[in-house]
């Protein structure tokens, strides 16, 4: 694996590789790597692409400064994991490489409705930060394919919109991989390492609440089902931001299901200081 810290060096290297006919698959991450990240990189390798992983804890996407401060950093272990799966390239830039003009965002991405609901509503500014960093990384790596996890469902939609808005859609294809879970159903996440042993035992409750909704779904009003899922979570010690049922294509939040729309069930809730999110697609 080759490690790059400077955008210009990586750009030059990838330009050479492109000339030899290689196609590039890119997995942007914030590190503290787990099987969810590695599954994305395995998809890149299985597709026969040159695999590029970035690790960058992006300051502009943290609406909560305490969350940024406590974000887990495990660079040495991450590098070992990447070597073990034969990742080709790691991009590990310092902040100045990504934000040469400072951290004040100068461009506003018109994300529309997507920025007003769910994560957008509970984490003001988050998706602007996500858009700016992914845009910058795409500009440096110029991948043929961008691999993202369904774990961050709304983020996938935001990045698709950003790619559309910036005209990058003719250059890069989005590939979305299913959520990788622990044996007890908990969606893998770097933040899980911050849970106490007691909280870790409770954490699968978020997937169980979403599974409860999926199993009880029937055409008609959705209000009671959502309320039941919220009280299940609250009674087991979660502080709930939202449990919602939305149209899987538009993310329009629904109180009524016509029985035909593809749905996505989404939840965000705190255990102590740790905020967990999860979702289930209902095809
Ligand atoms: P993060 O490091 O949390 O910013 O995540 C980097 C990428 O990995 C994003 O595209 C995430 O959606 C994806 N990802 C994170 N956790 C999982 C998971 N449990 N399963 C699949 N993909 C994931």
Residues 240-245: contacts with CB under 8 Å, at least 24 apart: 240/267, 240/268, 240/269, 240/270, 241/122, 241/268, 241/269, 241/270, 241/275, 242/118, 242/122, 242/266, 242/267, 242/268, 243/209, 243/210, 243/213, 243/267, 243/269, 244/117, 244/118, 245/213
CA distances from 266 to 76, 78, 228, 240, 244 (A): 33, 29, 14, 12, 5
Query: 60 near 105, Cβ under 8 Å?
Result: yes
14-55 pLDDT, tens digit per residue, is 999 999 999 999 999 999 999 999 999 999 999 999 999 999
Catalytic positions, please?
37
- CB-ligand 1 contact for 199 (6 Å cutoff): no
Neighbours of 83 (CB within 10 A): 11
Pocket test for ligand 1, best of 42, 151, 190, 275 (most atoms within 8 A of CB): 151
122-139 pLDDT, tens digit per residue, is 999 999 999 999 999 999
- CB-ligand 1 contact for 30 (6 Å cutoff): yes
Mean pLDDT value of segment 7-20: 98
pLDDT band (50, 70, 90) for residue 283: confident
């Amino acid at each position: 694996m080759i490690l790059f810290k400077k955008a210009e060096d990586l750009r030059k290297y990838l330009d050479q590789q492109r000339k030899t006919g290689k196609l590039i698959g890119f997995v942007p991450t914030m590190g503290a790597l787990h099987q969810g990240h590695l599954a994305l990189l395995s998809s890149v390798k299985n597709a026969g692409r040159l695999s590029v992983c970035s690790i960058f804890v992006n300051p502009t996407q943290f609406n909560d400064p305490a969350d940024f401060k406590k974000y887990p950093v495990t660079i040495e272990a991450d590098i070992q994991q990447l070597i073990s799966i034969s990742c080709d390239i790691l991009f590990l830039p310092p902040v100045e490489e990504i934000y040469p003009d400072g951290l004040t965002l100068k461009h506003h991405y018109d994300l529309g409705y997507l920025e007003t609901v769910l994560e957008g509503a509970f984490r003001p500014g988050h998706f602007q930060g996500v858009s700016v960093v992914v845009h910058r990384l795409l500009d440096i790596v110029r991948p043929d394919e961008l691999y993202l996890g369904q774990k961050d469902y709304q983020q996938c939609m935001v990045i698709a919109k950003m790619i559309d808005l910036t005209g990058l859609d003719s250059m890069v294809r989005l590939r979305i991989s299913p959520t990788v879970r622990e044996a007890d159903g908990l969606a893998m996440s770097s933040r899980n390492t911050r849970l106490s042993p007691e909280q870790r035992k409770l954490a699968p409750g978020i997937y169980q609440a979403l599974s409860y909704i999926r199993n009880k779904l029937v055409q008609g009003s959705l209000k009671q089902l959502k309320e039941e899922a919220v009280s299940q979570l609250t009674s087991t010690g979660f502080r709930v931001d939202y449990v919602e049922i939305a149209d899987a294509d538009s993310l329009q939040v629904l109180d009524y299901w016509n029985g035909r729309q593809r749905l996505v069930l989404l939840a965000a809730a705190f255990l102590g200081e740790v905020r967990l999110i999860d979702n289930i697609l209902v095809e």
